[in-house]
Structure 1
Amino acid sequence: MPHYLEWSRAYSHRLNAADGAPLQARAAEMGARLERELAQGILPFLSMPYRATLEKDLPPILEKVRTRKHMLVLGIGGSALGARAIQRAFAPGQDRPGHDGPCLWIADNVCAEEFEALLAGLDAADTSVVCISKSGGTIETLAQYFLVRQWLQADLGEGWREHMVVVTDAVSGYLRQEATSHGLASLEVPDHLGGRYSVLSAVGLLPAGFLGVDWRALLDGAAEVARPLLEAPRSLGSHPSYALACWARALELQEYSELILFCYVPQWAALGPWFAQLWAESLGKDGLGILPVAATGVTDQHSVNQMFLSGPRNKGCIFLTSRGQAEGRVFGQDLPQEWAWLRGKPLGSLLEAEALGTRMALCMNEVPLVHMDMDGTGPNAAGAFMLLLEAATLFTGWLMGVNPLDQPAVELGKRLANARLGAPGYVTEHADLDNFMAVPLQEQAF
């Protein structure tokens, strides 16, 4: 069966269909742009021209890394969020009692204590390290690479090379130089494939394959959603990703400032932070954009849902459910009389009822809502979900008039950090640091 977007309560309250109509009318213009940019090869997350090479190069590397129990991924942002979401969705045993299968560890922050704990607890001989950076120059990831290389060398000597895989640009950058000079196993991040759009490339699929996840099914699910866009880009107006883009842009034009992804597929909860980066880094530009808010059902019914229901009326919601989730154990017939209405029902019926109740409550409290209902929770469905949201993000950016493929504001903090550490070539940033640090502190103890 297909996946569905359900629209009956999407244009509601102060958002109405008339707000979306002018955006829908731009479908021909956007379709022509899609056709042009596909031909230019700058949308590889849609066209996946790298798939044939990946299917040739990935299996031999998987064969090697799967001889070891542990994989340590060095990466941040888009180099980590997708892999973590895939692990928690499709290899959750690692987080459960009694696990004895492969283990994926992701070093995605600068925390000396956590990093030391990881290295202290891992056996270098039984660990494959994957260093991921498209540019090959991400300072946080390179810092980890230098330290992990020392750690591997201390235990394995020259054998460290057999335990390191780099995922980076095919021809340029420091990590590509390292791969070439040391003979490291490597996979490429294709041109024009930014980190937040890269989960369905080697970036996410190498960790997925290590865990035994069906990575080809992830690609297949994505390809099914992308196919109409590739085969008939000028028919963009009928694609659900463009409908989502029009709705999201209409929300912003009506001064909605937050977009909730409320996930009632518990094992997919980590896709919320993945979506948050995708949306925020692509669309938060030039004073524009809607803040993405990731929420998990039913957990967040008991926390932030109070704000969703009774706070400012500035929120839209993508409400995610899935058919075919596990029903689980059945409540016995010996429940107390006040709970007799649960007798004979499976635990999964509680999730279904909670999802319906929350969805209704959001709609009754003036939250425009698109219900996304997936046919299953496997890798194929997840690939479809991710591709749909990537495409919707792209088209929303086009409708906003911003470039959804760059992230210029993020680079400023990186440049200032490099200047703070003494990197050469940052004259302006050094001056900015001096001015910033010269402002007298106004401290208040507590």
Structure 2
Amino acid sequence: MKTAGSIIPNTLDWTGAWNGRVASGDSMPYEVRRGDMSTRLISEITAGRLPFINMPFREELETSLEAYTPWLQSFRHMLLLGIGGSALGARALQKAFYPQQDRPEHAGRSLWIADNVDADTLDAWFELLPPEKTIVVVISKSGGTIETLSQYFLARQWLRESLGDAWKKHVMVITDVAKGYLRQEADVLGLASLPVPDHLGGRYSVLSAVGMVPAAFLDMDWKALLRGALAVGAPLYAPGAGVKTLETHPAWKLAVWNRTLMERGYTQLIFFSYIPLWAQFGFWFTQLWAESLGKEGKGSMPLPAVGVTDQHSTQQMFLDGPRDKACLLLSSPSLSKGRQFGPDLPEEWAYLRGAHFGDLLQAEGLGTQMALYKAGTPIVEMCMGSTGEEAAGRLMALLGIATVLTGWLLDINPLDQPAVELGKRLANARLGASGYDEESADMEAFLARVPEQQEF
């Protein structure tokens, strides 16, 4: 039982993990690889190729961001231009730790995230945001992401029309430290900038300047996010780390579990959040998992779900559809209990008298967990002892490390995204960019197909 002042730990509950078509013994073909995996992990961290784990950039980031924070917070609005990993982490943190922006009568700072080619919304921001009170943050590791650059060109024009030469004081660039168009733009024009460290892909970058700049703007405890993440990864590269360390690490256990699930035909992984303000972490995880592992016909499809909302939509499929789904269920016993029901409820609902509104969420989460288990769904509960920034950092690090290890167990590279590039090349060809002769020919052939259409 929790006592006054005690700390509730973050835990993974494996009680329902080996359910349905999987048993713990099925994992042995992957467990025996832990020696090679441990050696590889330490080697990759030491070589700087997994910087999201040991954060060699942390000291420089903290120094730079502390200096920039008063300037960032002098603005009323931040317009963040970025897509994919340049936006999903920031949105998850905003929804989790700055929910007041979505509530009535909000009068504080506001973060607006432009993560799509949405002309109507971009026009609305340019029409309604006061340029003199707005900081535009442009995020692209490569410095050449066409969606983000297009937004930047229009935002630059919008600021310049209102502020003249002072527009440069309303822009921050987060990009590669040495190369790419945005790095050149920042250096030539003297724009404020922070680097995206080498070997840090977008989906692994939330705990760098990519996510910490908007976190600092919204006055989150961003240092606690970093501390939490480092605490999870540190044992893996500490002096003396080795096979035994990896064997007992929760990220390794998650990786082995998921690899075993895939071998047994579980092709979908539900991320079911029963922490309402953390619902967007499911969408952040979706990109992390899908873009890292969906290669060579391998991987499993992540499905973000929100408790209790999706109990009234997709849960029918989860419980009574194809038996191809496993589940990560996110919960916390420390959520606000909310208002208490009075004694005047109708007799039919008398059992709610004296209960709190938050009790309903806990009961619904337990009900879903048990229903999934009874349906034969392998399920691991990620129970967060608290829902502060440090806990969020721990969760993000755990899932990031587990994703890398799962990719290695699949014998694929979890750090690249080769298939995504084809769509980008074809889009550039359609827009008339040079150097895409093969893609242009393919595009012409695709558009020359005889249409088979039907009105409705």
Normalised by the size of structure 1, how large is the TM-score?
Answer: 0.99
Q: RMSD between aligned alpha carbons?
A: 0.8
SS at match of 1:180: helix
Task: For 1:124-135, list aligned pairs within 5 A.
Answer: 124-135=131-142
CA distance in 2, matches of 1:331, 1:411: 54
Alignment match, 1:415: 425
Q: CA deviation at 1:341?
A: 0.7
Question: Which of 11, 16, 25 is the aligned partner of 1:9?
Answer: 16
Q: CA deviation at 1:233?
A: 4.5
SS at match of 2:397: helix
Report whether the alignment pairs 1:335 with 2:342: no
CA contact (8 A) 1:34 1:233 kept: no
CA distance in 2, matches of 1:352, 1:364: 18
Report whether the alignment pairs 1:112 with 2:122: no
CA distance in 2, matches of 1:364, 1:343: 30
Q: CA deviation at 1:371?
A: 1.0
Alignment match, 2:162: 155
CA distance in 1, matches of 2:332, 2:434: 52
Aligned partner of 1:272: which letter?
A: G
Alignment match, 2:294: 284
Q: CA deviation at 1:439?
A: 1.4
Alignment match, 2:455: 445
CA distance in 1, matches of 2:62, 2:314: 42
SS at match of 2:344: coil
CA distance in 1, matches of 2:188, 2:324: 53
Alignment match, 2:208: 201
Q: CA deviation at 1:419?
A: 0.7
Alignment match, 1:188: 195
Alignment match, 1:323: 333
Instruction: Number of aligned residue pairs: give it.
Output: 446
Alignment match, 1:255: 265
CA distance in 2, matches of 1:185, 1:332: 55
CA distance in 1, matches of 2:247, 2:36: 10
Question: Which of 215, 218, 231 is the aligned partner of 2:225?
Answer: 218
Alignment match, 2:380: 370
CA distance in 2, matches of 1:284, 1:423: 28
CA distance in 2, matches of 1:20, 1:319: 21
Alignment match, 1:91: 98
SS at match of 1:105: strand
Question: Which of 233, 244, 254 is the aligned partner of 2:254?
Answer: 244
CA contact (8 A) 1:70 1:104 kept: yes
Task: For 1:40-59, list aligned pairs within 5 A.
Answer: 40-59=47-66
CA contact (8 A) 1:272 1:294 kept: yes
CA distance in 1, matches of 2:345, 2:249: 48
CA distance in 2, matches of 1:227, 1:2: 18
CA distance in 2, matches of 1:60, 1:40: 29
CA distance in 2, matches of 1:434, 1:266: 47
CA distance in 2, matches of 1:42, 1:323: 36
CA contact (8 A) 2:17 2:379 kept: yes
Alignment match, 1:310: 320
Aligned partner of 2:331: which letter?
A: T
Q: CA deviation at 1:2?
A: 2.3
CA distance in 2, matches of 1:246, 1:116: 47
Alignment match, 1:31: 38
Give the direction of change, closer, same or farther, for the CA distance of 1:233–1:122 in structure 2 (3 Å limit): farther
SS at match of 1:375: coil
Aligned partner of 1:124: which letter?
A: P
Report whether the alignment pairs 1:348 with 2:358: yes
Once the two structures are superposed, residues 410-445 of structure 1 have per-residue CA deviations (whole angstroms, 9 ceiling, x without a partner) of 000000100111111111111111221121111111
SS at match of 2:331: strand
Structure 1 segments, 4+ long, off by >2 Å, are none
CA contact (8 A) 1:70 1:102 kept: yes
Q: Percent identity?
A: 56
CA distance in 2, matches of 1:344, 1:427: 70
CA distance in 2, matches of 1:424, 1:157: 32
CA distance in 2, matches of 1:219, 1:40: 21
Report whether the alignment pairs 1:402 with 2:412: yes
Alignment match, 2:128: 121
Report whether the alignment pairs 1:229 with 2:236: yes
Aligned partner of 2:180: which letter?
A: G
CA distance in 2, matches of 1:121, 1:107: 15
CA contact (8 A) 1:200 1:218 kept: yes
CA distance in 1, matches of 2:319, 2:455: 36
CA distance in 1, matches of 2:282, 2:453: 36
- Gaps of at least 5 residues in structure 2 are 1-7
- Gaps of at least 5 residues in structure 1 are none
CA contact (8 A) 2:333 2:362 kept: no
Alignment match, 1:103: 110
Aligned partner of 1:60: which letter?
A: A
CA distance in 1, matches of 2:159, 2:234: 44
Aligned partner of 1:2: which letter?
A: P
Report whether the alignment pairs 1:390 with 2:400: yes
CA distance in 2, matches of 1:317, 1:310: 14
CA distance in 2, matches of 1:212, 1:233: 38
Question: Which of 375, 383, 391 is the aligned partner of 1:381?
Answer: 391
